[in-house]
Amino acid sequence: MKVKSISIYPIKSLKGINMNSHETFEEGFKWDRRWMLVDEQGKFITQRSYPQLSLLKCSISEDQLIVSSSTSSITILLGENSDKVYKVSVWSSSLKAQEVSSQISQWFSEYLNTHCYLVKMTEISKRFKRLYKAPFKSMVSFADGYPYLILGTATLDLLNSKLESAIKIDRFRPNIIVETNKAHEEDEWEEIHIGTAILKVIKPCARCIMTTINQQTAKLGKEPLKTLASYRKKGNKIYFGANAVLITTGKISVSDSVILKV
């Protein structure tokens, strides 16, 4: 098996960026979900409430992140943040983060037509995820729950074979897409070696309503959750892809072999 593609999502809930090669950190790929929009109470803002976030494109260079809408764009220096500190929340997690700048927050506020702030993870930001198996704890970015999401190509192929209209993999926001032959085999992986990094799969990933938002139009539908519920539902959750944490830092590149430790 080989890595087909790598994606990072610098700002939570905005479009992702494909990378040819990227560094891994305990909390996620470098720059992955290190920024996030929050409301006036510090609660995270996502496509669940503002599906139009799916239309904001991101590009990244050595020192800046550019966010573009259909009518304008804004440049964020990667090292930029103000002294303004917020207590922010992602689900049940609370942590400190720093606003990037009032000007950048205003740009997003105008786009969403609601008062919001763009905050960044800095040295004051610490967030941990407790795990039910070794290593039992991991740092994590502003991602919903885990530092890495892995998805096999055969898993999406099986789903699309059951749908009337095929959907794109961007609905699921994976970090690492692996060329696989068996659908959902990533659920069963344990320790995996990719490039110079080692990851450990913790569990299958529970999916939410965000998967029903068309990432090209921001339109909400019933699929793929309706179809997934027919064969991927366990209890009251629907699973697709696998959550993973980092064991050994390194670099992962497209076309790297994915080696399973047995």
Tens of pLDDT, residue by residue over 9-19, are 999 999 999 99
Q: In terms of residue numbers, what domain contains 174?
A: 3-8+129-260
Is 74 among the domain residues? Answer: yes
Same domain (yes/no): 191, 118: no
Whether 173 contacts 180, CB under 8 Å: no
Q: What is the CA radius of gyration of the chain?
A: 18
Paired strand residues for 96: 87
Same domain (yes/no): 224, 196: yes
- In this predicted structure, what is the pLDDT of residue 200? 98
- In this predicted structure, what is the pLDDT of residue 118? 98
Does residue 51 have a cis bond before it (omega within 30 degrees)?
Answer: no
Q: Residue 119: which residues within 8 A CB-CB, separation 6 or more?
A: 35, 36, 37, 38, 86, 88, 97, 98, 99, 100
CA separation for the pair 261, 193 (Å, rounded): 7
The pTM score is: 0.96
Residue ranges in the chain modelled with pLDDT below 70: none
Count: domains in the chain:
2
**Residue found by looking up tokens 């919001």 in the block:** 116
- In this predicted structure, what is the pLDDT of residue 126? 96
- Classify 68 as helix, strand or coil: strand
Same domain (yes/no): 147, 248: yes
- In this predicted structure, what is the pLDDT of residue 120? 98
Tens of pLDDT, residue by residue over 151-201, are 999 999 999 999 999 999 999 999 999 999 999 999 999 999 999 999 999
- In this predicted structure, what is the pLDDT of residue 2? 98
Is 170 among the domain residues? Answer: yes
